[in-house]
Structure 1
């Protein structure tokens, strides 16, 4: 995985597209989980959302290291 990506002459970190993709996936998962009603059973919804995003981003980042 490249450390930097050139985007219109500006260098950005290589994990930035992964971060944005995980953020979009997190928004979709959040909508799905709220419609299902999972957040009624969770103690702190904001902490659950943060932990879910950290798991998604960490997993995607580890997949790209190989």
Structure 2
């Protein structure tokens, strides 16, 4: 089951929109975590940021495609 979204007459897969939405949420979470000092307790901040993004993207994808 592939979801297609029509945006201004252009058909794009829904996963692209989910990817962009997850990116915006991850940027906001990154700022919150940086302000709270969470990254001081994380072994590898880049890996942690990537894992957070993957969790957000997978969660929204599973909600939509379930």
Count of residue pairs the alignment pairs up: 66
Provide the C-alpha distance between the structure 1 equivalents of 2:60 and 2:3, rounded to a whole number of angstroms: 15
Q: Which runs of 5+ in 2 are unaligned?
A: none
Residue 7 of structure 1 aligns with which residue? 7
Residue 51 of structure 2 aligns with which residue? 51
TM-score (norm 2): 0.87
SS at match of 1:12: strand
SS at match of 1:42: coil
RMSD: 1.5
Which stretches of structure 1, 4 residues or longer, exceed 6 Å deviation after superposition?
none
SS at match of 2:30: helix
Q: Which runs of 5+ in 1 are unaligned?
A: none
Q: CA deviation at 1:2?
A: 5.1
Provide the C-alpha distance between the structure 2 equivalents of 1:14 and 1:42, rounded to a whole number of angstroms: 32
